[in-house]
Structure 1
Amino acid sequence: MITSGEFPGMDLPGIDASSTLDGLGPVELDHPTQDIDGDGTLDTITTNGDEAMQVWTDYDHDGIADHVSVVEKDGDYAAWEFHRHPDGTSEWVRTDEGKIG
């Protein structure tokens, strides 16, 4: 299950390639099901909706997603990284976007 740290216990709302993720906050990955980097530790959850696939990954294994990629059925895609700042604030920063095909 994927939950937002802003709304504990709630499913993460669907996002698409045009989302800004402003105000989303940390996203908890309670029970990852895939090992995306091959190190033997489950770190990723993939969700599939009617219009898009989302891949949420916790690279540092702290239970909080560090990266999310979205690929839509029409080929639009985007990726974001979660950044924690020294002043205690955090944000999702878009790192990639485009169209496949």
Structure 2
Amino acid sequence: MVTSGDIPGLGLPDIDAHSSLGGLGAVELNSPSLDLDNDGVADSLSMSDPDSTSIWSDYDHDGIADHVTIVEEDGDYAAWEYHRHPDGTSEWRRTDQGNLGK
């Protein structure tokens, strides 16, 4: 499992709006600092660089990211949800993508 402590910076995988996330697996969020669902519990981390901003969220508070959204400087964006299956396998499914200017 990829953990947020394994990667420099905020420790999150470097992805872009065109990434497949096919082999990514679970991503642990060690220290969420944003409360995006306004339930009083920090559930998300945001990471920005000159090319993009990504937001990783753990809405069920189990320490594993459930959702990621990325918006690139050129307006391209994408969102994925993490799904665990009863047989023990898991996958990231793209739920949205496009360009903010189109």
Whole-angstrom distance in 2 between the partners of 1:30 and 1:7: 8
Question: Which of 6, 14, 18 in structure 2 is aligned with 1:10?
Answer: 6
In structure 1, list runs of 5 or more residues that go unmatched.
Answer: none
Whole-angstrom distance in 1 between the partners of 2:51 and 2:4: 25
Whole-angstrom distance in 2 between the partners of 1:97 and 1:8: 24
Aligned to 1:57: 57
Offset from partner CA, 1:27-53 (integer Å, 9 cap, x none) = 000000000011000000000022110
Classify the secondary structure of the residue corresponding to 2:34: coil
Offset from partner CA, 1:16-37 (integer Å, 9 cap, x none) = 0000001100000000000001
Equivalences, count: 97
Residue 63 of structure 1 aligns to which amino acid in structure 2? G
Offset from partner CA, 1:39-81 (integer Å, 9 cap, x none) = 0000000000221100000010000000000000000000000
Residue 96 of structure 1 aligns to which amino acid in structure 2? D
Output aligned runs, 1:45-84, within 5 Å: 45-84=45-84
Classify the secondary structure of the residue corresponding to 1:33: coil
Q: Per-residue deviation at 1:8?
A: 7.3
Aligned to 2:98: 98
What is the identity percentage for the equivalent residue pairs of Structure 1 and Structure 2?
59
TM-score, with length taken from structure 1 = 0.91
TM-score, with length taken from structure 2 = 0.90
Q: Per-residue deviation at 1:7?
A: 6.1
In structure 2, list runs of 5 or more residues that go unmatched.
Answer: none
Whole-angstrom distance in 1 between the partners of 2:95 and 2:48: 21
Whole-angstrom distance in 2 between the partners of 1:68 and 1:13: 11
Whole-angstrom distance in 2 between the partners of 1:8 and 1:43: 14
